[in-house]
Amino acid sequence: MGASTSVADSPLISFLHGEFERAKSENTKVPTRSHGKNGLYFHQIQQLQPPRDFPLDLRHIGTLWKLDSNHDGFVSFEELLAFAEFCNDLQRTDGDLDLAQKLKANCVMEMWESISEERSQDAFADWVICLVTQGEPHKTFAISSEALPKAEYDSERGQPVRFLHHDAVMTLYELMTPYQIATHIDQQSFLDLLQQIAEVMSLQPLTEQELDDWVPVEVVHSWVKRFIAAQANLFKELGLNT
């Protein structure tokens, strides 16, 4: 960042305000109903440009975790400013050498402290779902014993199951890009895999075309939790949990 004092007391505050408003005006892949809120969703966050080529990777999941400090999947200007202060303090303390890697390392270590226990991994999965849905509400279908979906829950027809839209699943796939997900599975196969898991769990009959673009929230939550649990285990194996 390069401010000799706090970002809030430097000319950088005007830059941040401008970037925040510019990114907020970006409509790319963000639900229309979200545009009136005073903050940024995932695809708007990606539009932010750091000052003077500051080495910031906004697709890095640890960085996003740090940036979205209250973990609601939505970044306010106050959160952006707090993150800028964090970056500025790190740059003043450690200098520019390997700053990009140091920034990621600091964010990852802070994230690690939050995901080392199973209960906190549930909270992490909740955050990822908030992040990828970008303000789009879940849709509830009633899944009956006869595997008939309905848009509204009917206690006589089946259990209510909350679903995420295809767009949110594709955003999750995009979020996993730094982990080389594309070398293992393509987007359509990823969607198919989650839906097949849902069918095994009796949450989604694949014969119902009405559900072709939907995946149960429970399935996505479980997948994300297993992913972050694997990351936590890797930290333990590398001795990074001390």
Q: Which long-range contacts (CB under 8 A, 24 or more apart) does 123-126 make?
A: 123/71, 124/65, 124/224, 124/225, 124/228, 125/221, 125/222, 125/224, 125/225, 125/228, 126/71, 126/221
Residue 175: predicted pLDDT: 96
Residue 32: both structure tokens together: 């229309």
Position 35 scores a pLDDT of: 47
- pLDDT at position 30: 58
- The pLDDT value given to residue 2: 62
For residue 87, give the nearest of 194, 15, 148 by alpha carbon: 15
Residue 148 predicted with pLDDT over 50: no
Checking if the pLDDT of 213 tops 90, the result is yes
What's the distance, CA 47 to chain centroid?
15
Sign of the torsion formed by the C-alpha atoms of 117, 120, 124 and 126: positive
Across 50-54, 86-90, 184-188, least confident range: 50-54
Tell me the C-alpha distance between 208 and 181, whole Å: 28
In the chain the domains, ranked by start, together with CATH numbers, are: 7-115 (1.10.238), 118-237 (no CATH)
Answer with the residue of higher pLDDT: 96 or 121: 121
pLDDT per position as a tens digit, 9-64: 999 999 999 999 999 998 655 555 554 568 999 999 999 999 877 889 999 999 99
| Among 122, 157, 160, residue whose Cα is nearest residue 138 | 160
Mean confidence (pLDDT) of the chain: 87
Question: Residue 32: what pLDDT?
Answer: 53
